[in-house]
Amino acid sequence: MRGGKLIPVAALVLAAGAARADGDAARGEKRFVECAACHSLQRGVNDIGPTLYGIFGRKAGEVGDYRYSPALKRSGIVWTEGTLDTFIADSQATVPANRMPYAGMPNAADRADLIAYLQKAAQ
């Protein structure tokens, strides 16, 4: 955990409001290479990470046969554009002690593109 950066759920909800809605799915497909080594978009196909199929509207830690960290299970997050945006930006700050080995995507436009792509490809 990085120096007490734990964000309370209320703050997460507020931060979620800042997600940009102008993402470009075609550019986002290129950003997805940062995720693809561990995450599939196909139903039921878990790799190092859980499948992202059907992620929007799902509660964090809920793909039945994937072994989540207790931290993510407890997080209470429901994946929306906003919560994903916050999580992808800095997942350890958002959910300390989650197990995703990923340094984060700092650029908001990149995240918007990625989320636009996921909205198309993960349904």
Partner 1 sequence: MATKLKEVDVVVVGLGWTGGILGKELAEAGLKVVALERGAMRTPAKDYAVPFIRDELRYVVRHDLMQNTARDTLTIRNNPSQEALPMRRLGSFLPGEVVGGSGVHWSGHTWRWTDMEFKVRSMYEERYGKNFIPADMTIQDWGITYAELEPYYDKFEYTAAVSGKAGNIKGQIQPGGNPFEAPRAREYALPPLRTILSSELFAEAARNKGYHPFPRPTANASQAYTNPDGSVFGACQYCGHCQRFGCEANAKGSAQITVIPIAMRNPNFELRTNSWVTKVLKDSDGKRVTGVTYTNVLNGEEFEQPAGMVLLCAYAINNVHLMLLSGIGAPYDPVAQTGVIGKNYCYQTGASATLFLEGRHFNPFMSAGGSNVTVDDFNINWDFDRGPHGFVGGYNVGSGFNSPLPIGYRPVPRGTPQWGKAWKAATAKWYQTAMNINASGAVMANRYNYYDLDPTYRNAFGQPLMRMTFDYKTNEHKMGEHAAKVINEIARSMNPTHLTEAAARTQPWTVVPYQSTHNTGGTIMGTNPRDSALNKYLQSWDCHNLFVVGANVFPHNASYNPTGPVGALAYWTADAIKNRYVKSPGPLVPA
Q: Which residues bind partner 1 (CB under 8 A)?
A: 33-34, 36-38, 46-48, 67, 69, 99, 101-103
- Of the candidates 21, 6, 25, the residue with the CA atom closest to the CA atom of residue 113: 25
Tell me if 43 sits within 8 A of 51, measured CB to CB. yes
Which string of b and e fits 11-43 if b means at least 16 CB within 10 Å? Answer: ebeebbeebeeebebeebbebbebbeeebbbee
CB of 114 to partner 1, least distance (A): 12
Return the number of the residue (46 or 80) whose C-beta is nearest partner 1: 46
- If the CB atoms of residues 16 and 117 are measured against partner 1, the closer one turns out to be 117
Nearest Cα to Cα of residue 105 among 10, 32, 14: 32
**Minimal distance, residue 36 CB to partner 1, in Å:** 4
Work out how close the CB of 121 gets to partner 1 at its nearest, in angstroms, rounded to a whole number: 15
Residue placing its CB nearer to partner 1 in the complex, 38 or 93: 38
